[in-house]
Chains A and B, each alone.
Chain A
Amino acid sequence: MRKIDDIFPNLGFAPTLIIVIVLGIALQLTGFWMTMLLAGGFGGLFTRRHRHSFLTGFLGVGIAWTGIFAYLTVTAQAMAVAEFFIGLLGLSGMGWLVIVISLLLGSLLGGFGGLFGRSLVEIIDEFSSEAEQTHTPVQPTEEIVMEEKQ
């Protein structure tokens, strides 16, 4: 059984970030904010360190939402909606705060998604690795070395 990390290569920070941004936009357009955990989770697939997974998820979703908000501000009065909303809390004139809070929450969703994704990948890979060791006949060390060379 192949490990997940063998299937999804370590792309490095920048390419992974781009993948999360694209996925973040696409999934958010479905209207379901929980999918940002999934978008961030992809950061965990294409990176190998928890810190990178979190950062790609956090920044990727943050940038994705920033882009959507920019579009909505131009086309759909997002600032006016935010201003209306914050007025409910008695903070009129601070509509930008709603968008900042939204971006922060979205980024955290992405970041935690990345973190969880990385942790899940590692534990699945370890589980599959252990399972392989349990059920596969032990090969002589030399054969293993040979296979690796091939």
Chain B
Amino acid sequence: MSKRKVINLVLSLIGPIALIVILTMPIGPLAGGLQIVAPTGGIFDVGVGVHQPETQTIKLPGLDANVVVVQDQWGIPHVYGDTIEDAFMAMGYIHARDRLFQMYMQNYLAAGRISEIVGGYAASSDRLYRTLGFERSAEKTLAWFEANTDNPDVAYTLDAIDAEVAGVNTFIDTMTSVTTPIEFKILGFDPPHWRRLDIFIFAQLQSWGLAGGFDDLRNQWMRSTMDNDTMFDEVFPWTMPYSIPIVLEQYNLSITEYPNANGGYPADPNPSALNSGVMAEEAYIPQEKLEVLIKALDEVINPIGDMDFVGSNNWVVGGDRSATGEPILCNDPHLGFQTPALWYESHIVVPGELDVTGVGFAGMPGIILGHNEHTAWGWTNVGADVLDIFVEQLNPNNSSEYMYNGAYRAFEVHDESILTKEGNIIPFEVLESVHGPLIDSITNTYNVDSEDSPNLAMRWTGNDIIHNIMAVGMINKMSDLESYFDAAYWWDVPAQNMVYADDQGNIALTVMGRYPIRAGYDGHFPVQALNDSVGWVSNVPYAYIPRTVNPSQGYIQSTNQLSIDWNTYGFELLGPYADGYRGRRIDALLAADDSVTMDDMKRFQADALEVRAQEIVPYVVDAWNNLGDGNATVDEIIGWLDDWDYVMDPDEKAPTIWMFLRNAIHYETFDEIRSIDSSLMLSRTPVLEKFIKENNVYYFDDHTTAGVVETRDEILVRAMYRALDDLVADPVFGNDPADWDYGNKHRVYYDHLADLTSVGGIPHRGQLTLNVAGGWRVGGGPSWRLVADMSNIQMSYGIYAPGQSGNPFSPHFDDLFWIQYSYDEVTEQHGYHAIYFYSTVAAFQAADTEGTMIEAVITFIP
């Protein structure tokens, strides 16, 4: 054989082998390698997948009968099935089709397994979530459900879950390159089957996002940094001045009928009897350790957005105050914006059993917020403190033990080794005491701590068995006040202000959730609990949690503010609560209008009037008029502020001035705080407002200027100059007033979950207003809007952004964004879509006379 030809053959193999290696080896984030850039079989198939036929038949094994899904013009599925199981199986399939990447990304994050998808660099996130123990808690909750199937509501919940899981898995099993999410192709991720447990893990994640957090650590760091308890109490009060409580007329239920707390937990109607009055000694945590821990915790992603912007609005007017003569209910939960959206909108119909529409979570059965044939509901976050830090006293001779009830006992050890995408295993253990998991497992603080092992335990209601998934099923089927009370009973975590209206004319709100009764400590700071006389000793009875039903004022509003006036309420529900400005605004709007229309409600949801500015700016204008030095630029700015209607309009300059002015007033007023530590927060605005209105001479005196006593007006004028300096120094605004329009910098963005793309970038109205749009780069706010008309539920409106589909190339990826963020200057409303609510396929098709409402019809067959 010719040697040359053998050499030719060997040489000609080098090219193909090299190419195969190049195309298949992971390159940075491209775990799947460059092979995915081929014209078919890779990323480009995703563009093919967006084309959907107008009619489609899909085999879904396990169905009892056909299920028809009518997909409307916004990609919202209306699922018509004969049984609950059939309907949710089809729903699961559609969820997976539209949001599979999101479902897995969020669940792997929650389970502390995100390193398996993106690589070991995410191990710090996994350490935190494994420490929090969402998967361990979800397993406990699932076990409770599986052990209580004799309860028909539990059985219903598990049936719906199993059907959803089956639908998701059918999609996964039949997934092709065309239907595989582009993110999976890029990351080289092959999703395993969806499980019952995944749904409970996701519920834990949501609970954490709304009811978790380590305020106790921050409180202690702030108080110990300030080292002045009087000032700490004055500047950081637990309840904000001027706040209008949510519940003005408490409505108790029968303690005989509901003897327990939410979720069936033990309750005690007499909290004082549980407390000996002896307070435990304050726990000491070194300042350096607090700082390391807080920094580590801050660096980890919050799945539902920055807690500074997590809030919500809901309100309802009764028939006596509405133009329709029946209740009108509104809700807009404020969460972090993301692409794909947290929410997924759908309508599920099972004749005789269920007819419910609204938004829920992809991968989970049920509608979280929305309406059915008889009732409508919406939530705002309570913000109650249901997480405490307990400092365990370690055995000096054996740090795997801690003192409790007079004896040392061993920590429970959880092996939480982290598997990474690279195939490595990162050893990690989580210790748990009687109070809960030790949170200082997540980062090494031992070099700044006298202890040589973790010792900070976290007690959180979310680590116990939680029943919120069951409550969702019951809420979806509510038909009257009684069923509302029964459903809200099972909602334990995260605590929510659930506003309610029905077609019988009732309106109500329940501050629903499980609230621990504490003994031996106040719950605001970490505590050492060496025995069971200190800690959570019971819970507030469901019958007595803050609740109002058909109040005499004819309307109810909640915006995350103080739940109830503690002076008249027998239990203590710790905050932190919102500043209360949104509550003050909606309360004023509703109180001034005794014939509210649907259009009024939409206008209220779009309201961008800054109450903070309305209350404070006049004092600044007066101060300048009294003490101003005639500076022409400031004179002009003061003129803008004086003429301003306090609406945070992107085309105005006054809102820009206000943004800088508010910070400057805080800075100039609270020299007492910033001179201690520049990283300390400079109070909350209601406190500043109070100091201004009451002319608090102590705080307005600049204590850094010895021998001089400054007045309030002098400080406000100084703040005006500081604001101007900061404004001019801002690279977006600069020296030229022509560039000072608010919308030049105040813009809204919906960033992709994996930071692959972004939707938006347009100028946006609002700030800490009813139409919430905090900060300059708006990344959180109304994540869903509902305006429900109980006089004709078919005339209700909703919207959420950016869209139904998680496929970046689908027309439904961002179509709802452009509707929601359209603003009509005449009607003063943002955009909505009509919530189609037809109880049969035939009725839906008959209503679509112009062929614009229905985009596709999918028939699922057994």
Q: Which residues of A contact B (CB under 8 A)?
A: 28-34, 37, 50, 65, 68-69, 72, 75-78, 80-82, 84-85, 87-89, 98, 101-102, 105-106, 108-109, 111-113, 115-116, 118-120, 122-123, 126-127, 130
Contacts and interface: CB of A to CB of B under 8 A. Distances in A.
Contact of B44 (A30, A81, A101): A81
Nearest to B11: A119
Contacts of A109: 16, 19
A112 B40 contact: no
A85 B754 CA distance: 13
Given A33-B23, A116-B16, A126-B2, A102 B186 contact: no
A112 B17 CA distance: 9
Contacts of A34: 20
B757 A87 contact: yes
B38 A72 contact: no
Contacts of B707: none
Contacts of A112: 12, 15-16, 19
Interface in B42-57: 42-48, 50-51
Contacts of A126: 1-2, 5
A32 B40 CA distance: 8
B35 interface: yes
B39 A37 contact: no
A96 B25 CA distance: 22
A149 to B, nearest CB: 28
Nearest to A122: B5
11 contacts: A28-B39, A29-B40, A65-B39, A77-B47, A81-B47, A81-B809, A82-B44, A108-B19, A119-B5, A122-B9, A127-B1
Contacts of B23: 33, 105
A50 B48 CA distance: 37
A59 B48 CA distance: 26
Identify the 4 closest CB pairs spanning chains A and B, nearest first.
A31-B41, A112-B15, A76-B47, A33-B38
Given A102-B37, A122-B5, A78 B44 contact: yes
Contacts of B46: 81
Contacts of A28: 38-41
B273 interface: no
B1 A69 contact: no
B8 interface: yes
A120 B756 contact: no
Given A29-B40, A30-B41, 18 more contacts: A28-B40, A31-B177, A32-B41, A33-B41, A33-B42, A34-B20, A65-B39, A69-B39, A80-B809, A81-B43, A88-B30, A88-B186, A88-B756, A105-B22, A106-B39, A112-B12, A122-B5, A127-B1
Nearest to B36: A85
A120 B808 CA distance: 45
B34 interface: yes
Nearest to A79: B47
A112 B41 CA distance: 21
Contact of B37 (A37, A80, A85): A85
A85 B8 contact: no
B16 A123 contact: no
A119 B43 CA distance: 33
Nearest to A113: B16
Nearest to B18: A112
A78 B15 contact: no
A124 B787 CA distance: 77
A126 B762 CA distance: 70
A123 B23 CA distance: 28
B186 A85 contact: yes
B16 to A, nearest CB: 5
Interface string B372-405: 0000000000000000000000000000000000
A84 B19 contact: no
A119 B11 CA distance: 9
A80 B29 CA distance: 19
Contacts of B42: 33
A123 B50 contact: no
B47 A78 contact: yes
B340 to A, nearest CB: 14
Given A111-B15, A116-B15, A85 B35 contact: no
B182 interface: yes
A143 B305 CA distance: 90
A88 B182 CA distance: 12
Contacts of B182: 81, 84
Contacts of B15: 108, 111-112, 115-116
Given A50-B8, A65-B39, A88-B29, A105 B47 contact: no
Nearest to B10: A119
Interface in B232-257: none
A80 B47 contact: yes
- Count chain A CB atoms within 10 A of each CB in B5, B16, B45, B809 and give the residue with the most: B16
A76 B45 CA distance: 8
B44 A115 contact: no
A123 B51 CA distance: 48
Contacts of B35: 33
A106 B757 CA distance: 27
A101 B42 CA distance: 14
A95 to B, nearest CB: 11
Contacts of A88: 29-30, 186, 756
B19 A101 contact: no
A123 B1 contact: yes
Contacts of A75: 47-48, 51
B39 A84 contact: no
Nearest to B756: A88
B842 interface: no
Interface string B682-710: 00000000000000000000000000000
Contacts of B48: 72, 75-76
A29 B178 CA distance: 12
A119 B47 contact: no
B6 interface: yes
A71 to B, nearest CB: 9
Contacts of B11: 119
B19 A105 contact: yes
Given A76-B48, A77-B47, A119-B5, A105 B37 contact: yes
Contacts of B147: none
Given A31-B177, A72-B39, A76-B44, A84 B756 contact: yes
A109 B762 CA distance: 44
A26 to B, nearest CB: 11
- Count chain A CB atoms within 10 A of each CB in B9, B39, B41 and give the residue with the most: B39
Contacts of A130: 1
B632 interface: no
B826 interface: no
- Count chain B CB atoms within 10 A of each CB in A68, A81, A126 and give the residue with the most: A81
A122 B4 CA distance: 11
Contacts of B592: none
B658 to A, nearest CB: 34
B662 to A, nearest CB: 35
Contacts of B13: 116
Nearest to A108: B19
A37 B16 contact: yes
A72 B50 CA distance: 12
Contacts of A118: 12
A33 B30 CA distance: 17
- Count chain B CB atoms within 10 A of each CB in A29, A76, A113, A115 and give the residue with the most: A76
B38 to A, nearest CB: 4
Contact of A77 (B9, B20, B757, B809): B809
Given A118-B12, A119-B5, A126-B5, A101 B37 contact: yes
